[in-house]
Amino acid sequence: MADPEVDLGFVYDNQGRTNIPQSTFFDLNLNVDNSVEGHIDRISFTLAPEIEEHLLIRSWLIAGRPPIHPSSPRRQPFHQ
């Protein structure tokens, strides 16, 4: 288990990613932060990449119409 004092307040999960709720780095510290805005300014550059690290990486597949099999009957447009 990581030591938050040694790791600058970061705690890591079993996959090596930052555990944001458990990491004291993201806690409001009135000795360092003069305001909520100051706190957000202090953590935003670190928090954004950490959140992106937790997002699932997925491949995108563009789905279209399946090709018409040559042996299937062709559909005729509806005419009135």
Location of structure tokens 């079993």:
14
Residue 72's pLDDT is what?
Answer: 58
What are the tens digits of pLDDT across the range 45-61? Answer: 888 888 777 776 666 66
pTM for this model (two decimals): 0.45
Residues paired with residue 51 on neighbouring β-strands, in sequence order? none
Quote the tokens at residue 79: 């005419």
Q: Which is nearest to 11 in space by CA: 43, 30, 21, 44?
A: 21
